[in-house]
Amino acid sequence: MDLQQNKFSEEYFDLIFDRFNAVLTGIGKKLPAVSYVAITSNDPYCVLISTLLSLRTKDDVTLKASERLLKRASTAHDMLGLSEKEIEELIFPVGFYHTKAQRILEISHILVEKYNGIVPDNVENLIALPGVGIKTANLTLNLGYGIDAICVDCHVHQISNRMGWVTTKTPPETEKALQSVMPRRFWIPLNELLVSYGQEICTSVSPKCSMCPMCAECPKIGVDKSR
């Protein structure tokens, strides 16, 4: 395939996804924590809570904290039966665990009072919840409801710019730019793929370009040193 001629076509992104997934499978990379919670729970509330816990927290810590908390309370109604201190103890040592415990209770109150315990299935109502930004909202829509949305975190933002798919300065700009160049069927799995790839291969500092099957074609924009 002539990658330059076919750049941004479905065939191009199929190739990217196939090659990246093959590398991750080869090194035994597991699913990101929130993806695992989504598959095992099949519930938007669990996805929302796990996504909140994942912010500024390592993946293994997020998964263990999510499992401990959601085993005790997997619905908004059940969560209100826990005290803030109990939630803190269950989610520790996630980053900002005290604030996150407060937010989880606040969100659960709103969901029960305003939505009968059901997580909203649209961006506008999700980002109106305390502590919920566009990344958390989109990932909840993706993995909780199967709704097409591009969830951009630091990995998606960095790799998309590094590979020349977009030229943007912020994640919100990247989300908008990707919507115009990426076929819609790739929107949901994009975050899961690039989070894993960014953690293991296309790292923020000194990426492992020698392990990447796209090394020869990648423009490596912004990369000063690689392995």
CA distances from 181 to 12, 28, 29, 108, 118 (A): 11, 30, 28, 37, 33
- The upper half-sphere exposure of residue 173, i.e. CA atoms within 13 Å in the direction of its Cβ, equals 8
Among the listed residues 64, 153, 169, 220, the single catalytic one is 153
Cα 34–chain centre separation: 7
Whether residue 30 lies in the annotated active site: no
Whether residue 153 lies in the annotated active site: yes
Name the residue among 56, 61, 71 with its Cα closest to residue 86.
71
Among the listed residues 60, 135, 148, 169, the single catalytic one is 135
Q: Contacts for 47-50 with beta carbons within 8 Å, 24 or more apart?
A: 47/139, 47/140, 47/143, 47/144, 48/107, 48/119, 48/126, 48/132, 48/136, 48/140, 48/144, 49/79, 49/104
Catalytic residues, by residue number, are 135, 153
